[in-house]
Amino acid sequence: MKYRKLGNTGLIVSELALGTMQFGKKMNLGSLGQEDTTRMVKLALERGINFIDTADVYSLGESETLLGNSLKGIRDEIVLATKVRLPMDGNLNTSGATRVNIMREVEASLQRLQTDYIDLYQVHGWDSITPLEETVRTLDDLVRQGKVRYIGLSNLMSWQAATAVMLQERLGLEKYVTAQMYYSLVGRELEYEFQSFAEYYNIGILVWSPLAGGFLSGKYSRENPTPAGTRFAEAGQFVPFDKEKGYRVIDVVKEVARRHGASASAVALAWLLQRPAISSVIIAARKAEHLEDNLRASELQLSEDDVRQLDSASDPGTPYPKWMVLQLDTAEDPRLKILHPERYADGGAWKDLRGTRWSG
Say what the pLDDT of residue 26 is. Answer: 84
Residue type, 239: V
**pLDDT (average), residues 215-240:** 79
Q: Which of 58, 182, 183, 201 is an active site residue? A: 58
Say what the pLDDT of residue 330 is. Answer: 83
Query: Which of the two residues, 238 and 208, has the higher pLDDT score?
Result: 208
Least-confidence region, from 81-90, 149-158, 253-262, 346-355: 346-355
Does residue 58 carry a catalytic annotation? yes
Question: In degrees, to the nearest 5, what angle opens at C-alpha 268 toward C-alphas 40 and 278?
Answer: 80
Q: DSSP assignment of 48-77, as one string?
A: T--EEE--TTGGGGHHHHHHHHHTTTTGGG
**pLDDT (average), residues 62-89:** 97
pLDDT in tens, 13-60: 999 999 999 999 987 777 899 999 999 999 999 999 999 999 999 999
Q: pLDDT-derived band of residue 221, with 50, 70 and 90 as boundaries?
A: confident
Positions of E strands within 155-203: 176-182
Say what the pLDDT of residue 357 is. Answer: 63
Say what the pLDDT of residue 157 is. Answer: 97
Q: Which of 152, 154, 70 is nearest to 115 (CA)?
A: 70
Query: Which of the two residues, 235 and 242, has the higher pLDDT score?
Result: 242
Say what the pLDDT of residue 358 is. Answer: 58
- Asked if residue 360 has pLDDT above 60, the reply is no
Q: What percent of the chain has pLDDT over 70?
A: 96
Positions of E strands within the chain: 3-5, 12-14, 16-19, 51-53, 79-84, 118-123, 148-154, 176-182, 204-208, 278-283
Cβ neighbours, 10 Å, residue 194 = 21
Say what the pLDDT of residue 30 is. Answer: 77
What is the C-alpha separation between 283 and 206, in angstroms, rounded? 11
Say what the pLDDT of residue 219 is. Answer: 87
- Asked if residue 197 has pLDDT above 90, the reply is yes
**Helix/strand/coil (H/E/C) assignment for every residue in 103-156:** HHHHHHHHHHHCCCCEEEEEECCCCCCCCHHHHHHHHHHHHHHCCEEEEEEECC
Confirm if 138 and 102 have CB atoms less than 8 A apart.
yes
What is the C-alpha separation between 345 and 126, in angstroms, rounded? 40
What backbone torsions phi and psi does residue 17 show, to the nearest 5 degrees?
-115, 155
pLDDT in tens, 152-165: 999 999 999 999 99
Say what the pLDDT of residue 229 is. Answer: 65
Long-range pairs for 25-28: beta carbons < 8 A, 24 or more residues apart = 25/59, 25/62, 26/59, 26/60, 26/62, 27/58, 27/59, 28/234, 28/235
Distance separating the N- and C-terminal Cα atoms of the chain = 43
Domains, the chain, ordered by start: 3-314 (3.20.20.100), 318-360 (no CATH)
Which sign does the torsion angle of CA 308, 202, 177, 175 carry? negative
SS3 category, 225: coil
Confirm if 295 and 15 have CB atoms less than 8 A apart.
no
What is the C-alpha separation between 152 and 174, in angstroms, rounded? 10
What is the C-alpha separation between 316 and 336, in angstroms, rounded? 25
Q: Which of 80, 51, 48, 45 is nearest to 298 (CA)?
A: 48
